[in-house]
Amino acid sequence: MHVKEQNWFAVVLDVAIVFVGVFIGLQADTWNETRISNAEAKTYYARLTEDLRAEESTRLGQIAYYQRTKQYGEAALRSLQQADNSLGEQFLIDVYQATQVWNYRTQRTTYDELLSGSIANAIPDATLRQQLANYYVALETSEQRQLERTPFRDNLRSHMPHAVQSMVRNNCGDRFTFQSNYVMQLELPESCELALDSQLVSEAVGALGSYANLEIDLTRHLADIEGKLVSLEAYLPPTRELIGLLEEINQ
């Protein structure tokens, strides 16, 4: 009888050991999965932050760019409205520079990658997921606003002689730079001097005389630039708020 009790005790002990071992193994797997999930989330938080910083810097660059094109456009409009209508080289520069545009795309590589996989697993915080979704949906509206074009750009470049356009582009056109993360930035020079031949200036001004709606189209184009600036500036605060939120979560 004593031997049987010892055998049963050994069996129970073995079962208990197996049970504890399985439990510890399952817990270890759970802990490991949690650790991996947390590490993955932190990586995505960091990448989203980088995308948002790129978005912020791009918008700041675009704001400076369109403020400059607006200055050129307003100078051209003032020249057109002069009583003596004495248009010269500076007018040609101003009116051409007013047509410059920055083709914009949102910085959303990481978010698109999350959407293509399981964003709920990668970002377990449901509130943050909703905030990101709302932000990027709204950003699409801003992107569409930046891609809108008025007839002025094509019409002006159709009427202005190619030689003048080439000289403005080559001497005073877009200046490309790249940040450390290879995000492209554009700049326009604050001023431009070409020393064009007087005959070429006269011919170019005469050619633009055939552009009947020049002043009307330029006025509409300036309104479009102002609309772009409003949109660019409006999305800076939420971009910065999301950057701060992600950095706080990812500490």
- Distance, in Å, from the CA atom of 90 to the CA atom of 21, rounded to the nearest integer, reads 84
- pLDDT of amino acid 181: 77
Give pLDDT, residue 166. Answer: 96
Instruction: Report pLDDT digits (tens) over 34-80.
Output: 555 667 788 889 999 999 999 999 999 999 999 999 999 999 999 99
**Hey, CA dihedral for 111, 116, 117, 118, is it positive or negative?**
positive
Q: How much is the average pLDDT of 199-217?
A: 96
Torsion of CA 39, 41, 42, 46, to 10 degrees: 140
Q: Is 66 within 8 Å of 227 (Cβ atoms)?
A: no
What pLDDT is attached to residue 29? 47
CA distances from 184 to 17, 56, 100, 142, 176 (A): 62, 12, 16, 19, 7
pLDDT beyond 80 at 19: no
Q: Which residues of 22-44 are buried (b: 16+ CB within 10 A; e: fewer)?
A: eeeeeeeeeeeeeeeeeeebeeb
